[in-house]
């Protein structure tokens, strides 16, 4: 049993992690791949693996283990392919949990108490993190893990307007005129390793007497606390780093909001479009600010594949380019 469970969970984790990496790296489309009868296929693969396990326990031969491994590899890839980019943070922590349970099963096989304990710790902590993130996103845990069971359906809301770009001088001018600034960091800041530039921008703006704060969404980045760790590493004062519930009501009285590499967590479609894949997810209401500046690589939808109406609003300006390069250029304009 331990051999079978260890191989099964490990194989699911292996291919699932490869697909998750491909989606996050942009090498695989972020949209969910929905096959006809996908849940039935999942049940067939799990059921087939259970039958093979019983056969293996009755000395049917090692071929049952090989066939089960193949089924588990397919199951891992199929499960993650069916999950949209918006839910990938949950998937990453859940895959982390799977790896822990695989290690624990191996520990039982080898009679290694240390491996059992560490595997159980990793498995349980990953599962708890996944549950916390699902609660923060207003998503059902099983809905995400089972490949998007119960996803919203129907035509997406039509978006009017166009994206308006802004250059470094325009951003510098807007910040110079502003008294209050809120910075919203996201996964894009982590990818570009722009936290040091963000910290320096914060220091210079505060030296000019401006109020600068950070708005942190519970699922910003890949895991809860991801942005907090990066900002702490860059020596951003902790007292100006606020959680979503603490700062969401303050956007309406804010002059400028700077969004760095965030998409889904600032998407008004979560509140306005019942057919959106992220409908009902709590988001940072940045669009209520007087002006919103979005630092973004390009005009694409990002790894989640969900269009963001925020980018088309009249008070939004798009600051295109790599986050670190864009901020470094901005720092040359702000003394």
The answer on pLDDT for 261 being more than 50 is yes
The mean pLDDT of 79-89, rounded to a whole number, is: 79
CA 88, CA 144: separation in Å to the nearest integer?
9
The answer on pLDDT for 283 being more than 50 is yes
118 and 213 housed in the same domain: no
192 and 71 housed in the same domain: no
Instruction: Give 192-231 pLDDT, tens digit per residue.
Output: 899 999 999 999 999 999 999 999 998 888 777 889 999 9
- Give pLDDT, residue 157: 63
* DSSP character string of 172-199: HHHHHH-SEEEEEE-HHHHHHT-HHHHH
CA 47, CA 62: separation in Å to the nearest integer?
18
Q: Is residue 159 part of a domain?
A: no
- Give pLDDT, residue 149: 45
326 and 181 housed in the same domain: yes
Structural domain ending residue among the three candidates 85, 110, 145: 145
Instruction: Give 88-128 pLDDT, tens digit per residue.
Output: 778 888 899 999 999 999 999 888 999 999 999 999 998 99
12 and 68 housed in the same domain: yes
322 and 288 housed in the same domain: yes
Q: How many domains does the chain have?
A: 2
- Record the tokens describing residue 213, joined without a space: 């704060």
CA 271, CA 281: separation in Å to the nearest integer?
8
Give the contacts of 45 (CB within 8 A, at least 6 positions apart). 71, 72, 74, 75, 78
Out of 38, 139, 213, 222, which one is annotated catalytic? 222
- Angular region, 116: left φ>0, alpha ψ -120 to 50, beta rest: alpha
- Give pLDDT, residue 253: 94
Out of 303, 312, 317, 320, which one is annotated catalytic? 303
136 and 180 housed in the same domain: no
CA 68, CA 71: separation in Å to the nearest integer?
5
- Give pLDDT, residue 194: 92
The answer on pLDDT for 252 being more than 70 is yes
Instruction: Give 4-19 pLDDT, tens digit per residue.
Output: 889 999 999 999 999 9
Ordered strands of the 291-296 beta sheet = 241-243, 211-216, 180-185, 256-260, 291-296, 316-320
Q: Kind and range of the H or E element at 295? A: strand 291-296
203 is catalytic: no
pLDDT cut 70: percent of the chain above it: 93
- Give pLDDT, residue 301: 67
Q: 90 near 24, Cβ under 8 Å?
A: no
Instruction: Give 140-183 pLDDT, tens digit per residue.
Output: 777 777 765 444 555 556 677 788 999 999 999 999 999 999 99
Structural domain ending residue among the three candidates 113, 145, 177: 145
Instruction: Give 224-244 pLDDT, tens digit per residue.
Output: 788 999 999 999 999 999 999
312 is catalytic: no
43 and 130 housed in the same domain: yes
Instruction: Give 286-317 pLDDT, tens digit per residue.
Output: 999 999 999 988 776 666 667 889 999 999 99
CATH number for the domain that contains residue 327: 3.40.50.1220
Q: Is residue 163 part of a domain?
A: no
187 is catalytic: yes
180 and 111 housed in the same domain: no
131 and 183 housed in the same domain: no
Please give the mean pLDDT across all residues of the chain.
87
187 and 135 housed in the same domain: no
Out of 187, 203, 204, 317, which one is annotated catalytic? 187
Q: Is residue 246 part of a domain?
A: yes
- Give pLDDT, residue 100: 94
- Give pLDDT, residue 3: 85
Q: Is residue 160 part of a domain?
A: no
Structural domain ending residue among the three candidates 145, 179, 209: 145
189 and 119 housed in the same domain: no
**Containing structural domain, residue 259:** 168-331
Q: 169 near 334, Cβ under 8 Å?
A: no
Whose tokens are 């031969």? That residue is 61
């Amino acid at each position: 049993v331990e051999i079978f469970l260890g191989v099964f969970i490990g194989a699911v984790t292996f291919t699932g992690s490869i697909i998750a990496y491909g989606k996050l790296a942009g090498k695989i489309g972020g949209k969910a791949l929905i096959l006809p009868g996908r849940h039935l296929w999942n049940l067939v693969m799990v059921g087939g693996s259970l039958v093979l396990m019983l056969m293996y326990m009755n000395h049917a031969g090692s071929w049952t283990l090989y066939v089960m491994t193949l089924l588990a590899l397919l199951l891992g890839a199929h499960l993650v392919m069916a999950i949209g980019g918006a839910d990938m943070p949950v998937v990453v922590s859940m895959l982390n949990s799977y790896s822990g349970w695989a290690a624990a099963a191996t520990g039982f096989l080898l009679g290694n108490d240390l491996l059992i304990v560490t595997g159980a710790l990793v498995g349980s902590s990953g599962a708890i993190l996944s549950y916390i993130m699902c609660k923060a996103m207003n998503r059902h845990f099983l809905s995400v893990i089972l490949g998007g069971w119960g996803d919203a359906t129907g035509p997406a809301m039509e978006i009017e307007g166009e994206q308006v770009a802004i250059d470094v001088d325009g951003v510098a001018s807007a910040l110079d005129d502003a008294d209050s600034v809120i910075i919203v960091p996201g996964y894009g800041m982590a990818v570009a390793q722009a936290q040091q530039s963000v910290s320096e921008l914060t220091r210079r703006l505060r030296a000019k007497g401006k109020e600068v704060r950070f708005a942190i969404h519970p699922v910003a980045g890949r895991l809860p606390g991801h942005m907090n760790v990066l900002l702490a590493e860059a020596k951003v004062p902790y007292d100006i780093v606020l959680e979503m519930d603490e700062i969401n009501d303050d956007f309406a009285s804010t002059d400028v909001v700077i969004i760095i590499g965030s998409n889904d967590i600032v998407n008004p479609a979560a509140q306005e479009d019942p057919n959106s894949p992220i409908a009902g997810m709590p988001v940072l209401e940045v669009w209520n600010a007087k002006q919103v500046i979005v630092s973004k690589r390009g005009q694409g939808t990002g790894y989640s594949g969900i269009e963001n109406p925020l980018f088309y609003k009249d008070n939004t300006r798009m600051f295109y380019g790599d986050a670190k390069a864009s901020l470094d250029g901005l720092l040359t304009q702000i003394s």
